[in-house]
Structures are given as structure tokens and as C-alpha cells.
Amino acid sequence: MFWYALRSLEIFQRKIGILKGYTYLIIDLACIALPLIFSFYKERAFYKEWKYFLPVNFIVAILFLLWDSWFTSNGVWGFNEEYLTGIYLGNLPLEEVLFFICIPYACTFTYFALDWLLKEKPFQFAHNFFSGFLWIISVIAIILFHDKSYTFYTALFLFIVVTLTIAVRKDISFLLLSYAVILPFFFLSNGILTGSFLESPIVWYNNQENLGIRMFTIPLEDTFYGLLLVMCNILGYQLLKNIYQKKTLKS
């Protein structure tokens, strides 16, 4: 249904062109719309978790935006102004800033919902394998592709986060399962951003700074970049929630 809506939007844009400058904004809003609505579901209200999620999301968003701004300044990637509202914060369009709020919100909500729906946590038996696999992949990418900025820094930061989870013996298997559930929607939204169903990409990439391997129109690195973004938000959300709960028990 989402695909047909965006396809219809593309056709409408071609004929009239009125909404073309709102395309990226519409994608952001489409990603967060249902999670935001269902956040007020009485039996499992995610809005009650905002006090844990929002501070973490703010910090993570700032860090990713600094990274984003740096890469934009250095031509690692950039934005097609035809699909933007024209509102900028520094060298980043407003829609890109909202991306780091809307996507993490949708992903953390999915994690929260699945945690309620699935009474048993599958794949816990293999959590060491998953952590080890990500760690090894990151190390290999750091060593072999240090000359490609997007590949190298995504691998480096993922390596740091995964190493920390291993050090504190954090089971990330359920987090990875949640990310797997999100992936189809990730490929849809990110596919549109990178040029699927559109005349030209909303976000373009300098292939000299990545492996040049595309999944349809999506750079391979985007999958791990998305995972890193999701991990930072969910792990931070869990940590802050645990701190609050321990303080509550003590008081």
C-alpha cells in the first residue's frame, strides 16, 4: 500500500510537480506515522517510554548529524534539492535531520512492540555468533577498505559498539531480530531515497567512498549504517530505562 501511494505520488509529481519538493519529508512522515499512532495503544503504550527514548535519541541524532554534515561537506554523499523543501540546518536539509528522529522512533517502537508480542526470545542461543560475526565483518572492512570513507567509518563505529556489547556481555540477538523485521520497510524507504521509483535519487553517493555494491539502488553500507543507528538508539534506550528503574526501586 505504501509503495502504491508513493508510486501515485511520483505520477502526480510528473504531471503537476506541486509535491515534488516534499518527497523526502513525506517519506519521513510515512515512516513514523503508524508507530506514532500505535504508541498510544492502551495495553502497550510506547508514549510512556518517551522519557527513556527521547533523551537518547537526541544525543544519538546529534552524533550522527555531525557525521552526516562532515560527509556532506566532503562530498561523500549529498542531496537533490528538487525533492527538498529548501529548509536547511547548516549544510543539511531539514528532512535529513528528521530522518534521525523518524527512523529510530519507528525502529525502537518495533523493538518495544515485539518484546511484548513475543513472550519467548528466539535466537538467544546464538547471540555470541551474531556478535562475533558483526565484530569480524567490521574488522575486515576496517583493514581492507580504509581508503573508502563511508565503508571505513561505518565499520569502525559498528566495531566500537559491538565491542562494547561483547565486553559487557550484552545479548543483542533480539535487537537484531527486530532490525530484521524492519529491513523490508528500510529497503522500501531507503530505496526511494536512493532513486528507486523516482527520476533521480534524493540522496546521492560518491562511489569512490564506498564499495560500489548496490542492492537495487541502495549502497551495501547503508544496511550496516542503519543497523548502527538502530543499535545506538535501542541500546541507549534500554540503558537509560534500566537506570531509571533501579533508582525507582532504591527510592
Burial of 46 (0-12, 13-18, 19+ CB in 10 A): buried
* For residue 92, pLDDT beyond 90: yes
Q: How far apart are CA 238 and CA 233, in angstroms?
A: 9
**Number of domains within the chain:** 1
Each residue's pLDDT tens digit, 216-243: 999 999 999 999 999 999 999 999 999 9
Averaged confidence pLDDT in the chain: 92
Residue 70: predicted pLDDT? 98
| Beta-bridge partners for 93 | 88
Residue 125: predicted pLDDT? 80
| Beta-bridge partners for 89 | 92
Q: How far apart are CA 181 and CA 115, in angstroms?
A: 12
- Go through 72-101 and write b for each residue having 16 or more CB atoms within 10 A of its CB, e for each that does not: beeebbebbeebbeeeeeeebbbbbbbbbb
* For residue 5, pLDDT beyond 90: no
* For residue 3, pLDDT beyond 60: no
Q: 76-80, 134-138, 194-198: which range is least confident on average?
A: 194-198
Alpha helices, DSSP H only, in the chain? 2-15, 23-38, 50-73, 94-117, 127-144, 149-167, 173-193, 220-250
| Domain that residue 215 falls in | 2-250
Kind of pairing between the strands at 203-205 and 218-219: unpaired
CA 147 to mean position of chain CA atoms: 24
Single pTM value for the model: 0.90
* For residue 7, pLDDT beyond 70: no
Mean pLDDT of 49-62: 98
* For residue 73, pLDDT beyond 70: yes
| Beta-bridge partners for 184 | none
Each residue's pLDDT tens digit, 98-121: 999 999 999 999 999 999 998 887
Each residue's pLDDT tens digit, 181-198: 999 999 999 999 999 888
* For residue 146, pLDDT beyond 90: yes
Q: How far apart are CA 128 and CA 125, in angstroms?
A: 8
Residue 18: predicted pLDDT? 66
Mean pLDDT of 165-183: 93
CA distances from 52 to 62, 99, 236 (A): 17, 19, 8
Block residue for cell numbers 565503508: 151
CB 178 within 8 A of CB 107: yes
pLDDT band at 16 (very low <50, low <70, confident <90, very high): very low
Residue 100: predicted pLDDT? 98
